[in-house]
Chain A
Amino acid sequence: MTLLNLVDVSVRYGRLTAVRGVSINLKEGEVLFITGPNGAGKSSLLRAIAGVTPTAGGHVEFDGAEITGRTPEDIARLGFSMVPEGREVFGSLTIEENLMVGAGMHSRTPGWKGQTAADLDSVYNTFPILKERRNQQAGLLSGGQQQMLVIGRALMARPRLIAIDEPSLGLAPNITDQVYERLIALQAERSLTLLIVEQSSTRAVMVGGRMILMRSGQVVLDGDARELGNSEAMQAAYFGYEDH
């Protein structure tokens, strides 16, 4: 079943076009990597889906509903959880408070308290370091711990889809390994749909799943990560050899 459907989506900043007519169809439970060089429009695309950046054309459907032009909070409440680039923890809030902000959107549903306590436990089980430091300010965490926190925070919203922008940014490779290991375990366990933006295709090849390559705001390749991974087509497309 299609969970996220992008049709001809464009994003512009003034006269600069960051995303030109991208169409992507993402099925429930799928893992999709969007890779591409700097300035390919990956982050802009993600921000447009989340409703943070307005789209200049095309439309976005989530779970069968049109979400183009809706507010970020509305989109989040439909089950689209965004983990933006640079992690963006609430540094002055404690770790537990950060997680509770993530759970807030369900505070009107019956049985919320018990549900939230269970969710909190499950996040703490996945990331024990967060439990250990739950009453400390989130700004004091290391980069890797912050990455775990924002993933946990996204999970607290009980999302259908988590979109993560460059989870490896600024992390040591072994820490990135840990983050991915948990992420993939969670994905399998909860049949989550994952949309991951990374600059390099290395991680996609390691993890597997589907991979899209973007360049200059357009989709240039779309296929199985391992098959595409180190193919010549991929290298050519990534660096744009065919243009020269």
Chain B
Amino acid sequence: MLQIVFDALSLGSLYALGALGIALIFGVMRLVNFAHGDVIAFSIFALLWPSTDAMAIVFAGNLPWFLLIPFVLAVGAGLSVLCEIVVFRRFRNTNPATMMIASFALGFVIRYFLLMLYSSRPKSISLLPILSQPVEILGARLPLLQLITIIVTIAILFGLVIFLRRTRFGLEMRAAAENFSMARMLGVRANRVIMGAFALSGALAGAIALIFGIQTGTADIQMGAAVMLMAFISTVIGGLGSLAGAVLAGFLLGAASVVMQVILPVDARPFRDAFVYGAVILVLLFRPQGLIAARGTKERV
């Protein structure tokens, strides 16, 4: 039982972190950033030397954890900010559909860039192997990583809340997310806020890359896309633009996946995803605006 709770929480953590990365950017510029998943993949590959061999040649992956973690976060943040400066800045005043397609295209550019350097074969890497050891909690044997994933996610969420509520930059980001044009008329610098959102979102992508990489022990060019789809669905179910909604929906989706894996009859389990997505449709039918309607869209009459 406890095992299920932890499975649900740790899977939900990944989705929540992914959803947050998308919601942050959507909040400030109404861009649904499909390149986010490829930023995740890029962050993990940055630990390896470019080579098309099946064996990974570890580069930064051997760093001690206190350097490894900042390195991956910085790679994610750096690439994300670069995407903003090189691509998205030029699309700022276009309509959301145009921006979305641009992000799709950019995602593929990043993915094929990785493909060129590393080939499409997933590479096995072992990062921080100590985390794969099991620990025993209340009678359940859990991988240490699962526990750490949950703790780290909660810490990141708390940190983000404090950042958004207590700092000037956080205040400006919240104001800009709600009404960008008004925030600018009050002197909030558009470029700074948007680059900040991209940096945060990219660092979150780095965090997901680390967790995912340690969990699966492989670096796979497709890995970002898998998390990304669920994360994107979470942001929509949560209410596009609502950070709290994105996190809530991420955890709910994680829970739904894990719980269905357990309660579905054995014959139906291979089709679990169909049930999960069916539940998604149901939620959207009853709450098309999302679980938590985004701020800025509600208005007092």
Chain A residues packing against B (C-beta within 8 Å): 50, 52, 71-73, 76-77, 81-82, 84, 88, 90-93, 97-98, 100-102, 104-105, 107, 139-141, 146, 153-154, 157
Contact = CB atoms under 8 A, between A and B. Distances in A.
Contacts of A139: 298-300
Contacts of A141: 300
Interface in B171-186: 171-172, 174-175, 178-179, 181-186
A76 B187 CA distance: 5
A152 B185 CA distance: 14
Given A91-B298, A97-B171, A105 B179 contact: no
A139 B190 CA distance: 23
A82 B185 contact: yes
B183 A101 contact: yes
B296 interface: yes
A72 B184 contact: yes
27 contacts: A50-B185, A52-B181, A71-B184, A73-B184, A76-B185, A76-B186, A81-B185, A90-B178, A90-B182, A91-B178, A91-B299, A92-B295, A93-B171, A97-B174, A100-B171, A101-B175, A104-B168, A104-B188, A105-B187, A107-B168, A139-B298, A139-B299, A139-B300, A140-B300, A146-B300, A154-B186, A157-B186
* A-B residue pairs, 10 tightest by C-beta: A105-B187, A92-B295, A76-B187, A72-B184, A88-B182, A101-B175, A82-B185, A73-B184, A77-B187, A90-B178
B189 interface: yes
Q: Is the interface of B mostly helix, strand, loop or mixed?
A: helix
A93 B298 contact: no
Contacts, number: 81
Q: Is the interface of A mostly helix, strand, loop or mixed?
A: helix
Contacts of B175: 90, 93, 97-98, 101
A81 B190 CA distance: 17
Contacts of A154: 186
In this complex, the member of B178, B185, B188 whose beta carbon has the largest number of chain A beta carbons within 10 angstroms is B185
A90 B297 CA distance: 11
